[in-house]
Copies of this chain bind each other. A is one copy, B any other.
Amino acid sequence: MLQCGVIGATGYAGSALVSLLAAHPKVEITYLASHSYAGKRFSDIYPSLKGACDLVLQEEDVQEASKLCSVLFLALPHGLASSKITEEILSRCIIIDLGADYRLKDSSVYESWYKTEHGSKSLLEQSVYGLCELHRDAIVNANLIANPGCYTTCSILTLAPLLAEGLVDPTSLIIDSASGVSGAGRSEKIDSLFCECNESYKAYGVTNHRHTPEIEQELSLILGSDVLVQFTPHLVPMNRGILSTCYANLKAGVSEADIESAYHKHYGNEPCIRLMGSSLPETRFVRGTNICAIGWKFDARTRRVIAIGSIDNLIKGAAGQAVQNMNIRCNFEETLGLPLFVSNPL
């Protein structure tokens, strides 16, 4: 059994990860840490997992943890991981970081969007951006895997084939996304109170959301030149789910069939992508699963494509993709322990 640990185990992403690891047939959880609940059992905080995981939560200690685990998952606020990970830790333990610290390869971009200094710039070169469908080959050998953000996973996967095949004008990309409230995490904020979110819909982070440079980094890699995107997230009164509605101007001559071909070429064999064509995804169709569902519409009238992707922000957008990364890295079957189907309504 692979010995695994989670630091930040009682947040929403962390606890979703514990839940997946506890049911994973090749994993043994040997370490869980939580700053807020150290000393309590995990199942005291999450009683619905009583019997599945009753470990006592430790104070967060990356050094200690790296000695107890072969794979250590970090689910921490940005800035913390980069101040704690060292070459020495990486020499004995695979780190899968669910936070933002190792996602942006250019530390000046990180520092400009996150308004904080990066604590371990020298490690950025060896970190691998853990968007499994795009970087599978590099993940196999990585000891530092930067698990992508939720909006970014959904948006990049939705747009990648269109850019890779040169079907759209890269200056025209607009990504209008919406997320359930669990994306805001389990912290005591007025803005996350039930009565502040329920029965309302709003945009936030307009023009300056931190997932923007992450999307741009990856789409630029695919295109081979710099891409700017317009990214606007919204908050939806539901627990889970992200939907990204992506707009792009079609290049001259591009047909509906070209679009369909692009998606099937890139994703036809992907176990965690469900192509829906013109029957579009809804967030409920992927709730609780590690699937990214993608549909699209060709608009002959406006000469645009509207591509729509959807994921569960806590699974394919966080904990599930982290497990998928572990599976790839450890040569397990890629979807082992990952739910792929959901019964509606859930």
| Chain A positions near chain B (C-beta within 8 angstroms) | 12, 15-16, 18-20, 22-23, 46-52, 174, 176, 178, 180-182, 186, 188-190, 192-204, 206-207, 228-230, 232, 234, 236-241, 243, 245, 247, 274, 276, 279-289, 297-299, 301-302, 304, 306, 308, 340-346
A199 contacts B230, C-beta separation under 8 Å: no
B176 contacts A46, C-beta separation under 8 Å: no
Bound together, the chains give a CA A279 to CA B180 distance in angstroms of: 21
| Closest chain B residue to A17, Cβ basis | B343
**What is the total number of copies of this protein in its complex?**
4
What is the CB-to-nearest-CB distance from A215 to chain B, in angstroms, rounded to a whole number? 13
A341 contacts B52, C-beta separation under 8 Å: yes
B240 contacts A201, C-beta separation under 8 Å: no
Name which of A22, A234, A297 has the most chain B CB atoms within 10 A of its CB.
Answer: A234
What is the CB-to-nearest-CB distance from A279 to chain B, in angstroms, rounded to a whole number? 7
Bound together, the chains give a CA A15 to CA B247 distance in angstroms of: 35
Q: Which residues of B lie under 8 Å from residue A241 when comparing CB positions?
A: 199-201
A284 contacts B186, C-beta separation under 8 Å: no
Q: Which residues of B lie under 8 Å from residue A180 when comparing CB positions?
A: 199, 201
A198 contacts B345, C-beta separation under 8 Å: yes
Bound together, the chains give a CA A228 to CA B47 distance in angstroms of: 33
Q: Which residues of B lie under 8 Å from residue A284 when comparing CB positions?
A: 48, 199-200
